[in-house]
Amino acid sequence: MKQAKYDVVIIGAGLGGLTAGAVLVTAGFKVLVAEKVSFVGGRCGTLEYKGFHLPTGAIWLSEEVHGDLARAVGAEFNLRVIDPPYYFRIGGKDYPAPIAGIFRTMFGYASKDEGEIVRVMKAFKRGIAWQEPSMNMSVYDWLRQYTDNEAIAGIIRAFVAMDTGLNHFELPAGEFFKFVKETSFVKRGGFLAQGGGTLTQALAKVIRDKGSDIWTRCQATQIMVRDGVAVGVRVRKDDMEDIEVSATAIACNAGPKTAVELAGKENFGEGYMKDIAKIKAAPQMIIYVESEESLTDNKGMFMWPEARRVFCALDYTGICPEVSPPGKTLLEACSYLTNSEQPYDLKSEVELSIQDLKDNIPDFDKRAKILKIICYHNQYGLMRVWAGQPFDIKTPVENLYLACDSAAPHGWWGSSAAVRSGRLTAEEIARRFKPSVAKA
């Protein structure tokens, strides 16, 4: 079998894996990123389809998380900031919502009276400034203690679904408040020219430009473990060439389940395997819609807290014309499912989502056409682990790490979680080891 040697092998070229790779090569490490499909980015990528550039998942990024990463490694990052970033449709009317004070603003629009907003915000502030609510109750059940207003509940549901794929009755209340506190520093968010793939392509360029490698169409077949220590990865390149790659450290971007499958469950211990058995992925549906004209009146993310399934819709072409061919417009709509655990009827979920589009976009059938529908579910959910149930970046196998949204601290969700996990893993590897493999 052909042999190769790197300082670090990263399994998967999603945002977490490319984050770890870019940080490590900037610190002088020789890195191999092995990606089983033909493109990089995972759920923060861009798919070319019928002349369109379709974001595969992450679209809304921030200067404080994603931009800070890009600047740290020298990657290009030109965020298009929209002000206001959100519009919430409540009672058939669209209300602009700034990032600063967004919950107070939107609860105010949705409240029945001043007493309700005072009551809800008092409890909200207590959960932030004093004590977070219990992790043993949902954020929906927590809210019901102070109001039965479903419009307010819908606002929270939309925010929860956008980054986690979960419903508000599935997310622990304590986790929601950790998110509010952990991300309070984020003030500037926006969009990249061709979706999240603009960032992951830039990170991939950093890795290659600094003398390391990304192999696409390269399936990891085994993580090699000796005496409880990860020592390398066996990969199959282009479905025909088997290569044994030795490395000082391994980082798995494909999630904890994949790490166990590749390294062998006998290496992880009973407790860890019980945690693996509890893993549930969070599903989400993305509907791409094409038209010859804009289907919305304003730029920004339209949040529909009173809809059946669709919680947000974005006229991407209005902000980033690069995503569409000439004369065409791309709208992206995202939906949660009736619940995040199977069984669920995907056909029914699609029908309900399309009905939401028809209800909220005038003359939808005449003006628009469904371009493509993607549903992330089963093991490959929007997040591979439900928010509030994160894994540590370290696994029981020494020198085997996770670099993915499944392994970020409490309160970090979605693409921000992937960045946070990737940076933490890279920093830990750089703390423990020194680069040893000469670059070409």
For the stretch 14-37, pLDDT in tens is: 999 999 999 999 999 999 999 999
In this structure, how many other beta carbons lie within 10 angstroms of the beta carbon of residue 218? Answer: 25
Q: What is the pTM of this model?
A: 0.96
- Angle of CA points 22, 214, 37, to nearest 5°: 120
- d(C-alpha 388, C-alpha 176), whole Å: 8
- d(C-alpha 325, C-alpha 194), whole Å: 12
Average pLDDT over residues 79-96: 92
Average pLDDT over residues 385-409: 96
**In this model, does residue 379 exceed pLDDT 90?**
no
What's the mean per-residue pLDDT of the chain? 95
Predicted local confidence at residue 381, as pLDDT? 82
Asked if 2-47+59-78+194-278+386-432 and 284-335+343-376 have one fold, the answer is no
Instruction: Sketch the domain layout of the chain as residue ranges.
Output: 2-47+59-78+194-278+386-432, 99-182, 284-335+343-376
Segment (H or E) for 419: helix 414-432
| Orientation of helix 102-110 relative to helix 114-129, angle to 10° | 150
- d(C-alpha 440, C-alpha 438), whole Å: 7
Q: For residue 60, which phi and psi values (nearest 5 degrees)? A: -90, 115
Q: CATH number for 2-47+59-78+194-278+386-432: choose from 3.40.50.300, 3.40.50.410, 3.30.450.20, 3.50.50.60.
A: 3.50.50.60
Q: Please give the full DSSP string across 189-252, using - where no structure is assigned.
A: EEE-EEEEHHHHHHHHHHHHHTT-EEESSEEEEEEEEETTEEEEEEEEETTTEEEEEEEEEEEE
**Could you report the per-residue pLDDT of 297-355, keeping only the tens digit for each?**
888 899 999 999 999 999 999 999 999 999 999 999 999 999 888 888 999 999 999 99
**In this model, does residue 439 exceed pLDDT 70?**
no
Residue with tokens 């058939």: 92
Collapsing DSSP to helix, strand or coil, 389 comes out as: coil
Q: For residue 301, which phi and psi values (nearest 5 degrees)? A: -90, 120
**In this model, does residue 258 exceed pLDDT 60?**
yes
| Nearest by Cα to 27 from 13, 43, 8, 14 | 8
101 confidence band (pLDDT: 50, 70, 90)? confident
- d(C-alpha 94, C-alpha 318), whole Å: 17
**In this model, does residue 79 exceed pLDDT 70?**
yes
Q: For residue 249, which phi and psi values (nearest 5 degrees)? A: -145, 150
* DSSP classification of residue 183: T
Class of domain 284-335+343-376: alpha beta
Q: Where are the beta strands (DSSP E) in 60-209?
A: 61-62, 80-81, 86-90, 93-97, 189-191, 193-196
- d(C-alpha 274, C-alpha 322), whole Å: 46
* Exposure on the CB side of residue 414, measured as CA atoms within 13 A: 22
Average pLDDT over residues 189-215: 96
Q: Which two tokens stand for residue 98?
A: 């700034």
**In this model, does residue 225 exceed pLDDT 60?**
yes
Could you tell me what percent of the chain has a pLDDT over 70?
99
